[in-house]
């Protein structure tokens, strides 16, 4: 098989881009800055793949445990995050706001199903409280989202309309597959007609990217728009025929697992390396 110079060049570019991604791939929460300025430009609506979310949660601390949906191929909501171009946040826009469970009681069953907490170590309300106080209080500058009920209902409506499993499924992409990020992008764009942002969790041990989240963006009149220019760990990569906004490894397929992948045994490796160094040192010292 021969490759055209253009393709070769593209591959080098993608490898370089992937290298940048590795450096910037840390999954820290990018919304923690307490901006004085509560202005924002876009709403990022994030659906998560619970299997990968669980992997990430346990990988972070092996004592963590997850609660996964019983249904197969079931994407859940992570949040609606107001975001300013070129920066992150804002967050916690109303210091006097308190989370009031009563306001969302009428939709509690739906939230339990579609906006659950994968992180079983917290009470279910913990995620909702966090999302409302951190992001909802900023989104509340829009009249359509100016109370808990409206904010969470908007999430349920958007999930209904833009369900990731439907969009991927329409392109024949189901769990237990691996797909290039460009294939994922093309599948999603067929429905959305706008650029989403595709988020991976990266396992350094096996150098594998797992599909974690699909984020889509809305403007202040709640119209779907391209996620271009949205900050965080994502970079926009041009490829022939389009642009993909992602933190996933570009040069390798992205895994879409149906069960939680094996958790890398990080607590094992460290003493082993130390022991090896110690042995080396002792040998150098004594021989
Ligand atoms: C902040 O939250 C309080 C308590 O819920 C509310 O009364 C007030 O109107 C909110 N302020 C803004 C600017 O939204
Ligand atoms: C929001 O996006 C929609 C397209 O999805 C567009 O029709 C509308 O004009 C945009 N609104 C603003 C305020 O930019």
- pLDDT tens, residue order, the chain (287 aa): 444 444 444 444 444 444 443 333 333 344 444 446 799 999 999 999 999 999 999 999 999 999 999 999 999 999 999 999 888 889 999 999 999 999 999 999 999 999 999 998 888 899 999 999 999 999 999 999 999 999 999 999 999 999 999 999 999 999 999 999 999 999 999 999 999 999 999 998 888 999 999 999 999 999 999 998 886 667 788 888 788 999 998 889 999 999 999 988 865 554 444 455 555 555 554 44
In angstroms, the Cα distances linking 220 to 80, 127, 198 are: 13, 24, 22
The pLDDT value recorded for residue 12 is 47
Q: DSSP letter at 253? A: P
Give the separation between CA 199 and CA 49, rounded to whole angstroms.
10
The pLDDT value recorded for residue 19 is 43
226 Cα–ligand 2 center, Å = 11
The pLDDT value recorded for residue 84 is 92
Domain 34-264, CATH class in plain words:
alpha beta
95 Cα–ligand 1 center, Å = 8
Query: Which residues sit with their C-beta closer than 6 Å to ligand 1?
Result: 94, 96-97, 140
Angle at 119 between CA 145 and CA 85, to 5 degrees: 40
Q: Would you say the CB of residue 194 lies under 6 angstroms from ligand 2?
A: no
Domain boundaries, the chain: 1-22+268-287, 34-264
The pLDDT value recorded for residue 276 is 52
- From 39, 94, 146, mutation site for ligand 1 pocket: most ligand atoms within 8 A of C-beta: 94
- Taking the CA of residue 141 as reference, the ligand 1 atom at the shortest distance is 14
Residue nearest to atom 12 of ligand 1 (CA): 94
The pLDDT value recorded for residue 129 is 97
3-class DSSP state for residue 68? Answer: coil
Give the separation between CA 137 and CA 101, rounded to whole angstroms.
15
Pairing mode, strands 197-203 and 242-246: parallel
The pLDDT value recorded for residue 267 is 52
Q: Would you say the CB of residue 220 lies under 6 angstroms from ligand 2?
A: yes
Tell me which ligand sits closest to the C-alpha of residue 219: 2
223 Cα–ligand 2 center, Å = 5
Give the separation between CA 54 and CA 212, rounded to whole angstroms.
10
pTM: 0.81
Residue 225 forms beta bridges with which residues? 217
139 Cα–ligand 2 center, Å = 17
Give the separation between CA 189 and CA 216, rounded to whole angstroms.
10
Give the separation between CA 134 and CA 32, rounded to whole angstroms.
9
3-class DSSP state for residue 274? Answer: helix
Tell how far CA 125 is from the center of its chain: 20
The pLDDT value recorded for residue 122 is 81
Give the separation between CA 163 and CA 78, rounded to whole angstroms.
13
The residues, any chain, with a CB within 8 Å of residue 255's CB and separated by 6 or more, are 178, 208, 209, 210, 211, 261
The pLDDT value recorded for residue 4 is 45
Residue nearest to atom 7 of ligand 1 (CA): 97
Q: Is residue 150 packed enough to be buried (19+ CB in 10 Å), middle (13-18) or exposed (0-12)?
A: middle
């Amino acid at each position: 098989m021969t490759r055209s110079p253009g393709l070769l060049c593209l591959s080098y570019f993608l490898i370089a881009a992937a290298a940048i991604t590795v450096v910037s791939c840390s999954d820290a929460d990018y919304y923690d800055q307490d901006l004085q300025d509560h202005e924002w430009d876009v709403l990022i609506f994030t659906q998560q793949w619970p299997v990968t979310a669980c992997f990430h949660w346990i990988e972070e601390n092996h004592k963590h445990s997850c609660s996964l949906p019983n249904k197969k191929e079931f994407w859940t909501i992570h949040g609606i995050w107001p975001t300013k171009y070129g920066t992150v946040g804002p967050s916690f826009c109303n210091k006097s706001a308190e989370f009031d469970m009563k306001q969302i009681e009428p939709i509690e069953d739906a939230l339990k199903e579609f906006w659950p907490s994968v992180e079983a170590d917290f009470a279910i309300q913990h995620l909702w409280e966090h999302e409302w106080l951190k992001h909802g209080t900023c989104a509340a500058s829009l009249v359509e989202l100016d109370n808990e009920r409206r904010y969470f209902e908007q999430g349920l409506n958007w999930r209904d309309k833009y369900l990731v499993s439907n969009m991927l499924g329409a392109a024949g992409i189901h769990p237990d597959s691996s797909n290039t990020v460009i294939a994922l992008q093309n599948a999603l764009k067929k429905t959305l007609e706008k650029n989403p942002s595709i988020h991976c969790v990266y396992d350094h041990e096996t150098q594998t990217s797992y599909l974690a989240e699909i984020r889509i963006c809305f403007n202040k009149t709640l119209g779907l728009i391209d996620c271009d220019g949205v900050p965080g760990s994502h970079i926009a990569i041009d490829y022939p025929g389009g642009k993909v906004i992602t933190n996933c490894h570009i040069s390798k397929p992205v895994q879409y697992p149906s069960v939680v992948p094996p958790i890398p045994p990080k607590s094992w490796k460290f003493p082993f390396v130390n022991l090896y160094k110690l042995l080396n040192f002792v040998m150098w010292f004594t021989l």
